Amino acid sequence: MWTPDYFLGPWKLALETSRAMFDAQAVIAMRLGGMAGFWAVSTGETTRMVTEKPRALLKAQWAMQKALLEGQPPDAILRAGLKPIRKKAGKNARRLAALGPKRR
C-alpha cells in the first residue's frame, strides 16, 4: 500500500495533465493560425479536429473503466483516461509544428 506511487501518483497526474493542456493549447493555436492563413495545415484539418475527439474520448472512457474495474487508485484511473487524449494532442502538436508557418 505505501509504495512510491501512493505518494507520487497525484504529482504524476498533475504533470501529465499540464502536458496535455500545453499540447492542446499549441494545437488550437496552430489550427487557428491555419484557418487565418498564417500556418501551413492540410485541407482536411477542420474536419479532422471535429472527428478525432469522439474517438479519443471513447478510448479514454474505456481506459478509465478498465482501471476502475482493476481496482486502481483514483489518480491512476484519471491518468488512464488522460493517456489517449494526451497521446492524440501530442501527436497533433508534433505534426502541426512540423508543418510550420505558411510562407508566401
Which pTM value belongs to this model?
0.84
Cell readout for 34 is 491555419
> Residues 59-97: pLDDT tens digits?
999 999 999 999 999 999 999 999 999 999 999 999 999
Give me the phi and psi of 55, to 5 degrees please.
-65, -45
Percent of the chain with pLDDT over 70: 97
Instruction: Give the span between the Cα atoms of 25 and 2, in whole angstroms.
Output: 36
For residue 34, is pLDDT > 90? yes
The pLDDT of residue 1: 59
State the average pLDDT for the chain: 92
